[in-house]
C-alpha cells in the first residue's frame, strides 16, 4: 500500500502520533552517528532513544550529559529535534510543504487543527505562517539577550552557539542545556539577566500561540481579550505568584530562585538549584506546578492551565450551586467533563508508571520516583537526580510517559476509536455519589 493511501485512511490523531514517533526514531539514529558524538564517546542505542524522545517531547530529562557527549553537530541535531517537538510535527510538515509551494488539503488542515488543539479550522495556513515568524523572532531576540552572559565565559563561536541553543530550548520549554557537567543553569543562579530572559522565553512559549497573537491584535486591552486568553493569563499569573511564595516559604533560596523555579516547573525543566537538596514540601509544590503545566497550543505539556481552571470552576459551581462562568462568559457544558477525564487519565498514568518503576528499581524512593514520573508525563524535565540511575526497563517506561505526555492522554486514548460511538440510548439509573 502506498504511503499516501495509508495516511489518508488514518485519523488526524494517529498521523500526529506516528509523526512524533518517526521523528524520535530518526533523531535517535542521527544522535548515534560518529559525527554527532565527541571523540572517544560511544552512545548505546537506548540512551540515544531516550535523549531523542526527551528532545522531541520537549522534556529535558537526560540519562547522559548532552554537553560532554555530543559534538557541535550532535548539539545542532538536538536543537532541531527540540524545535520540531516544540512547534509540532504537523506545523513543521506544513511549513515545509508551503516552502515547496504545495497546496494544503482538507485532511492536512484537520491534522494542524488537532495538533494545535484549535476549535476552528479557519485561517490555519496564516496561523502556521505566523507561528514560524513569531518563533523565529522570539528565539533570535532571546539569543541576542543571552549572548552577553555566555560571552563572558566562552569564546565567540561557542557563546553564539550556546545563546541560540538556550533560546530555542527555553522558548520550547525543553530544559536541555549543552554547558557540560550536567549542571543546567546552576552556575548562573545569581545572574539576573539570564534568569529573567529564560523566564520570559519559557512563559512566552507556555501561554500558547493563540494568546501570543491575540494580545497585540486586541491592543493588550484586558477587556477586549477573549475568555480563553483571560483564563490562560490569569491562571498563569496565579500559579507563578503562589508557586514563588510557597517555594520561598519552604526552601532556603533567593526570591529570584523561587520565581525561576515557579516558572521552570511549568514544563521548562531548567535548574538553578539542586533539586535533590529540596525538602519534601518543596518538591510537592514543584510537582503540583509540573502536573498543571503550560497552556493549550503551546510548546509545553501538563494537563494545561485551562484544564485546571475549569476543574476549579466546576468544583466551585457544584459546591455553591452556581452556574459555571468566568469573565462574564458561561463555561461550555462539556468542558468540566473533558477536564475531569484528562485529569483522571493523567493521575492514573502517573500512579501506574510510578508503581511499575518501583518494581523495576526498588532501591529508589517513592518521593523521587513519583517526582520523576510527573516530570516525564508533564514534559517538564526536572529531576532529583535519579534519571541516570534508572534501569533499562525504567528508561523505556520513562520514554513511553514522555511520549504520552507530549501527545496528551486524551489524544492517546482516542487513537483506539474505530467507530463513531454508540447510538443506543439506555434508561437513566440512579447511583449515590459522595
Q: What is the DSSP track for 44-64? A: -HHHHHHHHHHHHTT----SS
pLDDT of residue 423: 59
Q: Looking at per-residue confidence, does 305 or 18 come out higher?
A: 305
Q: What is the reported pLDDT for 237? A: 94
How far apart (Å, rounded) are the C-alpha atoms in residues 292 and 308? 7
Across the range 54-60, mean pLDDT stands at 91
* Burial zone of 170 (CB within 10 Å; 0-12 exposed, 13-18 middle, 19+ buried): buried
Q: What integer is the mean pLDDT of 84-110?
A: 67
| Residues 182 and 166: beta-carbon distance below 8 Å | no
Over range 293-305, report the average pLDDT: 87
Q: What is the mean pLDDT of residues 289-318?
A: 89
Q: Which residues pair with 94 in a beta bridge?
A: none
Nearest-angstrom CA–CA distance, 73 and 58: 19
What is the model's pLDDT at position 418? Answer: 47
pLDDT the model gives residue 244: 96
Rounded CA-CA distance 290/402 in Å is 13
Query: End-to-end distance of the chain based on CA atoms, in angstroms?
Result: 53
Return mean pLDDT, the chain.
86
Q: What percent of the chain has pLDDT over 90?
A: 53
Question: Cell for 353?
Answer: 508508571
Q: What pLDDT is attached to residue 318?
A: 83
pLDDT at 321: 80
CA-CA distance, 394 to 396, in Å (whole number)?
Answer: 5
Tell me the pLDDT band of 1, cut-offs 50, 70 and 90.
Answer: low
119: Cβ contacts below 8 Å, ≥ 6 apart: none
pLDDT digits (tens, 9 = 90+) for 386-423: 999 999 999 999 999 999 988 887 676 666 554 455 55
Query: CA 340, CA 84: separation in Å to the nearest integer?
Result: 30
According to the model, what pLDDT value does residue 328 have? 81
Percentage of the residues of the chain whose pLDDT score is greater than 70? 84
What whole-number distance in Å separates Cα of residue 420 and Cα of residue 413? Answer: 14
With a cut of 80, say whether residue 106 has pLDDT above it.
no
Element (H, E) at 324: none
The predicted pLDDT at position 64 comes to 92
Report residue 102 as a C-alpha cell: 504545495
The answer to whether 178 and 66 are in contact (CB under 8 A) is yes
Amino acid at each position: 500500500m502506498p504511503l499516501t493511501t495509508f495516511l489518508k485512511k488514518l485519523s488526524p490523531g494517529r498521523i500526529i502520533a506516528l509523526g512524533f514517533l518517526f521523528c524520535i526514531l530518526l533523531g535517535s539514529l542521527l544522535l548515534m552517528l560518529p559525527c554527532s558524538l565527541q571523540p572517544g564517546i560511544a552512545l548505546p542505542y537506548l540512551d540515544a532513544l531516550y535523549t531523542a524522545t526527551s528532545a522531541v517531547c520537549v522534556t529535558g530529562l537526560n540519562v547522559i550529559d548532552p554537553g560532554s557527549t555530543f559534538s557541535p553537530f550532535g548539539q545542532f541535531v538536538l536543537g532541531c529535534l527540540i524545535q520540531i517537538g516544540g512547534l509540532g510535527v504537523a506545523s513543521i510538515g506544513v511549513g515545509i510543504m508551503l516552502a515547496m509551494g504545495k497546496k494544503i488539503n482538507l485532511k492536512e488542515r484537520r491534522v494542524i487543527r488537532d495538533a494545535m488543539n484549535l476549535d476552528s479550522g479557519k485561517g490555519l495556513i496564516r496561523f502556521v505562517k505566523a507561528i514560524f515568524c513569531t518563533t523565529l523572532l522570539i528565539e533570535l531576540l532571546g539569543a541576542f539577550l543571552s549572548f552577553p552572559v555566555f560571552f563572558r565565559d566562552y569564546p565567540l563561536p561557542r557563546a553564539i552557539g550556546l545563546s541560540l541553543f538556550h533560546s530555542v530550548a527555553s522558548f520550547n520549554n525543553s530544559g536541555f542545556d549543552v554547558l557540560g557537567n550536567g549542571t543546567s543553569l546552576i552556575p548562573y543562579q545569581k545572574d539576573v539577566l539570564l534568569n529573567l530572559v529564560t523566564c520570559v522565553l519559557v512563559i512566552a512559549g507556555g501561554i500558547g500561540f493563540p494568546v501570543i497573537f491575540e494580545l497585540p491584535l486586541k491592543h493588550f486591552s484586558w477587556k477586549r481579550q477573549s475568555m480563553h486568553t483571560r483564563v490562560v493569563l490569569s491562571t498563569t499569573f496565579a500559579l507563578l505568584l503562589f508557586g514563588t511564595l510557597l517555594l520561598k516559604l519552604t526552601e532556603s533560596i533567593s526570591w529570584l530562585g523561587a520565581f525561576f523555579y515557579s516558572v521552570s516547573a511549568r514544563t521548562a525543566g531548567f535548574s538553578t538549584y539542586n533539586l535533590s537538596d529540596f525538602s519534601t514540601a518543596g518538591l510537592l509544590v514543584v510537582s503540583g506546578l509540573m502536573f498543571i503545566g503550560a497552556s493549550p497550543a503551546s510548546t509545553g505539556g501538563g494537563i494545561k492551565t485551562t484544564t485546571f481552571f475549569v476543574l476549579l470552576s466546576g468544583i466551585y459551581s457544584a459546591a455553591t450551586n452556581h452556574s459555571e462562568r468566568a469573565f462574564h462568559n458561561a463555561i461550555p457544558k462539556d468542558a468540566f467533563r473533558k477536564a475531569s477525564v484528562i485529569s483522571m487519565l493523567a493521575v492514573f498514568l502517573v500512579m501506574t508508571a510510578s508503581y511499575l518503576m518501583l518494581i523495576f528499581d526498588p532501591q529508589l524512593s517513592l518521593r523521587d520516583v513519583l517526582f520523576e514520573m510527573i516530570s516525564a508525563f508533564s514534559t517538564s524535565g526536572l529531576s532529583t537526580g535519579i534519571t541516570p540511575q534508572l534501569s533499562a526497563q525504567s528508561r523505556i517506561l520513562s520514554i513511553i510517559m514522555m511520549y504520552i505526555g507530549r501527545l496528551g492522554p486524551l489524544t492517546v486514548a482516542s487513537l483506539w476509536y474505530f467507530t463513531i460511538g454508540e447510538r443506543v440510548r439506555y434508561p437513566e439509573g440512579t447511583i449515590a455519589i459522595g
